[in-house]
Amino acid sequence: MAMSFFDQFASPSYLGIPLIAIAIALPWVMYPTPSSRWINNRLITLQGWLINRFVNQLMLPLNVGGHKWALLLASLMVFLITINMLGLLPYTFTPTTQLSLNMGFAVPLWLATVIIGMRNQPTVALGHLLPEGTPIPLIPVLIIIETISLFIRPLALGVRLTANLTAGHLLIQLIATAVFVLLPMMPTVAILTATVLFLLTLLEVAVAMIQAYVFVLLLSLYLQENV
C-alpha cells in the first residue's frame, strides 16, 4: 500500500509508448484561438486581459531589453498553470511532478539569463559574485559561495516546483484513502475528513497557480540581474 501511493507519479505509457508528450501538448489545445474579428467573446476577452495584466506586472521592473522575454515567460506561466490544474483532476497525470521535466525548463532558461549577462555586461555579471565592501580575507570564500549559489538556482527552481506538487498530491491521496477506510466504521469522522479533503483540494488549486507564478517570477528576477 505504501508503494502504491507513488504510482501516480509514474509516467503513463500505452503499448510501451510514453504518454507524457500528450499530457504536455494537451493544454495548448484547450485554449480558445483569438479570431480576426474586432469583437471577441467573453472568454477570449478575459483570457487576454489576464495575460496582459500578468505581463505588465512581470515586465515592470525590467528594462526594455528584458521585454523581449515577455512572450516566453507569459507562455511558460500559462503552460505551467494549466498542467498543474489539470493534474488535480481524477485519473490524470501531472508532468510537472517529474523533476526531469522541471529541470528541462529551469536549466536552459537560467543558462540563457547568465549568457545574456556575460555577453552584455560581463563586469556587472561577475560583480554579483563579490559583494561591495567585502573584507580582503573573505574574498576567496565569498566568491566560492556566490558561485555555488549561482549554480544552485536552476536546481532550486526545479526541486521547488516538483516538491510542492508531489507533496500536495500525496497528501490528497492519503486523506482520500482515510475517508474510504473510515466511512464504513465511523461515518461522522469520515465526513469531517472529507471536509478537510475538500479544503485541501482548494489549497492545492491555489498552490498549483502560485508555484507556476513563483517559477516564472524567479526567472524574471534572474533576468533582471543580467539585463
The pLDDT tens digits of the residues spanning 183-218 come to 888 889 989 999 999 999 999 999 999 999 999 999
Dihedral pair phi/psi, residue 88, rounded to 5°: -85, -10
Look at residue 152 and tell me if it is in a domain: yes
Look at residue 207 and tell me if it is in a domain: yes
**CA distances to 2, 179, 197 from 182, in Å:** 18, 5, 13
Q: How many CB atoms lie within 10 A of CB 166?
A: 18
Task: Record the pTM.
Answer: 0.84
Give how many domains the chain has, as a whole number.
Answer: 1
What pLDDT, on a 0 to 100 scale, did the predictor assign at position 26? 77
Query: How many alpha carbons lie under 13 Å from residue 39 in its C-beta half-sphere?
Result: 0
Q: Is 150 left (phi over 0), alpha (psi -120 to 50) or beta?
A: alpha
Look at residue 191 and tell me if it is in a domain: yes
Q: How many CB atoms lie within 10 A of CB 34?
A: 12
pLDDT of residue 221 exceeding 70: yes
Look at residue 198 and tell me if it is in a domain: yes
Contact 124, 65 (CB under 8 A): no
DSSP state of 42: H
What's the average model confidence in pLDDT over 169-186? Answer: 89
pLDDT bin (cut points 50, 70, 90) of residue 7 is low
Domain holding 100, by residue range, is 7-225
The pLDDT tens digits of the residues spanning 38-75 come to 767 787 788 888 888 888 888 888 888 788 888 899 98
Contact 165, 94 (CB under 8 A): yes
What's the average model confidence in pLDDT over 106-111? Answer: 94
Contact 22, 30 (CB under 8 A): no
Look at residue 2 and tell me if it is in a domain: no
Dihedral pair phi/psi, residue 131, rounded to 5°: -60, 150
Q: How far apart are the first and last CA of the chain?
A: 51
Contact 5, 170 (CB under 8 A): yes
Look at residue 1 and tell me if it is in a domain: no
Alpha helix (H) ranges present in 128-226? 139-182, 187-226
Calculated CA dihedral for residues 190, 195, 199, 204, nearest 10 degrees? 30
The residue among 159 and 90 whose pLDDT is bigger is 159
Single out the residue of 76, 157, 71, 149 nearest to residue 110, CA to CA: 157
What pLDDT, on a 0 to 100 scale, did the predictor assign at position 111? 93
Minimum mean pLDDT range among 84-88, 151-155, 195-199 = 84-88
pLDDT of residue 1 exceeding 60: no
Q: Cell numbers for 145, please give them.
A: 559561495
pLDDT of residue 4 exceeding 80: no
